[in-house]
C-alpha cells in the first residue's frame, strides 16, 4: 500500500518539517513500518550529507558501539582524503550522521569512498536536500531527528508498509538519485520493467543501495536531468519508459513533480493555491495541514505535473 506526500511553498520557506510530519502521521495506516523524509533547507552550508552508519536493527550486536565509533572516524577521514573540507558533523542518532562539507569535486567519488566502509550508506547529498528515514511512524522519526524545526521550501515523505523486502532503512523511501545531488523520489506502486532499467542504469555506472524498484525512478530522472533534459520532459518521458503502476513524486532543488501511470491505479489527491501545493495519497493528509474547507482533485491517468519555486 504505502502512502506518499509532498508540499511546496512557492512564496518562500515554511515549516515543511512540521507539515510533512503531520501529513505522514495522518496516513500511518497506509504504512506503519518505516517513515522517510526528503526536505529542502535554506542551503548556504556547502554540501550536506546524511549518512547511515549502521541499521538500527543491528543495535545490541557484539561490538555495536565500537563499530559505530570506528565508522564515524573512518567517514571523516575518508571525506578529508577525497578533498572535502569537513564543517560540522552531528550525530542525529547514534547510527545516523549529518555532515556539512565544503567540496566541489566529483560527488560520485566522494560517496563511493564513504560507502566503501562496511555498513555505511549515504542517504542523501546535495546543497539543500536532506533525507531522513528510519523505522517507526512519522512522529517518532521526526522527534528522533528533530524535524519539527526544519524550515524549507519543499519536502516529500513516505510511510512504508513493507511487502516485498525487509523492514529496514535500506528499504525505506525516499531514494536519493545517487550520484546526482539534490534529487529524491517517493513512489507508490510497482514497476514491472525494474530489472531492465536497473541493468541499463548499471551499465552507465550507477550503483543501487537497495532492491527496491522505486530507487531506479530517482536515478532514471536524475540521469536525464544531468543530460540537460528539463524536469517536465523527464517526468513526461517516464510515462512511456516505466511500466507498471505508479504514482511518484520527484523533488529537485527548486521543483516538485508528480506522475501517474496510464492505468491511474494509485491514488493521489492534489490541493493547489497560488502560494502552495500539497499532495498526498489521501485527502486526510492535506487536511492535516490546512485548517479550512478546501477543494481538491485527483489527477487523471498519464498526468505529469511540475511546480517550480
Strand arrangement of the beta sheet that strand 269-272 belongs to: 129-135, 34-40, 154-160, 3-9, 276-280, 269-272
Pairing of the two strands 3-9 and 34-40: unpaired
Q: Report the nearest approach of other proteins to the CB of residue 172 (Å).
A: 17
Indicate which single residue of 168, 213, 223, 283 sits in contact with other proteins (rule: CB under 8 A).
283
**Does the footprint of other proteins cover residue 295 (CB under 8 A)?**
yes
Indicate which single residue of 112, 264, 272, 309 sits in contact with other proteins (rule: CB under 8 A).
264
CA distance 194 to 49: 27
What HEC string does 214-276 produce? HHHHHHHHHHHHHCCCCHHHHHHHHHHHCCEEEEEEEECCCEEEEEECCCCCCCCEEEECCCE
**Does the footprint of other proteins cover residue 293 (CB under 8 A)?**
yes
Specify the residue, 161 or 229, whose C-beta has the smaller distance to other proteins: 161
- Considering only residues 147-166, where is the footprint of other proteins by CB under 8 A? 161
**Does the footprint of other proteins cover residue 284 (CB under 8 A)?**
yes
**Does the footprint of other proteins cover residue 76 (CB under 8 A)?**
no
C-alpha cell at 222: 536524475
**Does the footprint of other proteins cover residue 29 (CB under 8 A)?**
yes
Indicate which single residue of 282, 305, 306, 307 sits in contact with other proteins (rule: CB under 8 A).
282
Binding mask 215-254 for other proteins (x = CB under 8 A): ----------------------------------------
Number of residues located near other proteins, criterion CB under 8 A: 21
**Does the footprint of other proteins cover residue 13 (CB under 8 A)?**
no
* Catalytic annotation present for 151: no
- Considering only residues 155-214, where is the footprint of other proteins by CB under 8 A? 161
Q: Report the nearest approach of other proteins to the CB of residue 4 (Å).
A: 15
Q: Which residues are registered as beta bridge partners of 305?
A: 258
Indicate which single residue of 80, 148, 226, 263 sits in contact with other proteins (rule: CB under 8 A).
263
Specify the residue, 49 or 270, whose C-beta has the smaller distance to other proteins: 270
Residues recognised as catalytic: 2
> Which residues of the shown chain bind other proteins in the complex (CB under 8 A)?
28-29, 32, 161, 262-264, 267, 269, 282-284, 286-287, 293, 295-298, 300-301
Amino acid at each position: 500500500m504505502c502512502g506518499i506526500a509532498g508540499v511546496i511553498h512557492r512564496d518562500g520557506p515554511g515549516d515543511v518539517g512540521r507539515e510533512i510530519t503531520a501529513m505522514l502521521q495522518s496516513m500511518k495506516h497506509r504504512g506503519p513500518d518505516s517513515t522517510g523524509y526528503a526536505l529542502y533547507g535554506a542551503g548556504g552550508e556547502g554540501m550536506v550529507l546524511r549518512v547511515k552508519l549502521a541499521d538500527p536493527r543491528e543495535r545490541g550486536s557484539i561490538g555495536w558501539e565500537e563499530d559505530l565509533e570506528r565508522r564515524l572516524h573512518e567517514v571523516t577521514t575518508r571525506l578529508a582524503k577525497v578533498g572535502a573540507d569537513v564543517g560540522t558533523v552531528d550525530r542525529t542518532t547514534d547510527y545516523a550522521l549529518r555532515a556539512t562539507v565544503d567540496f566541489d569535486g566529483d560527488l560520485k567519488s566522494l560517496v563511493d569512498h564513504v560507502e566503501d566502509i562496511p555498513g555505511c550508506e549515504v542517504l542523501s547529498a546535495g546543497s539543500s536536500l536532506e533525507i531522513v528515514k528510519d523505522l517507526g511512524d512519522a512522529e517518532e522519526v521526526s522527534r528522533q531527528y528533530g524535524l519539527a524545526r526544519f524550515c524549507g521550501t519543499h519536502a516529500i515523505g513516505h510511510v512504508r508498509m513493507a511487502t516485498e523486502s525487509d523492514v529496514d532503512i535500506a528499504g525505506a523511501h525516499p531514494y536519493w538519485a545517487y550520484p546526482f545531488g539534490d534529487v529524491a523520489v517517493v513512489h507508490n506502486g510497482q514497476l514491472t520493467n525494474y530489472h531492465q532499467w536497473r541493468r541499463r542504469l548499471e551499465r552507465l555506472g550507477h550503483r543501487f543501495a537497495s532492491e527496491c524498484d522505486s530507487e531506479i525512478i530517482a536515478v532514471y530522472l536524475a540521469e536525464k536531468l544531468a543530460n540537460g533534459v528539463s524536469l517536465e520532459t523527464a517526468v513526461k518521458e517516464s510515462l512511456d519508459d516505466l511500466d507498471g503502476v505508479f504514482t511518484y513524486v520527484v523533488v529537485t532543488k527548486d521543483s516538485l513533480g508528480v506522475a501517474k501511470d496510464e492505468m491511474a491505479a494509485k491514488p493521489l489527491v492534489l490541493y493547489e493555491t497560488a502560494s502552495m501545493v500539497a499532495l498526498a495519497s489521501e485527502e486526510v493528509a492535506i487536511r492535516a495541514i490546512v485548517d479550512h474547507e478546501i477543494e481538491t482533485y485527483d489527477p487523471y491517468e498519464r498526468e505529469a505535473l511540475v511546480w517550480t519555486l
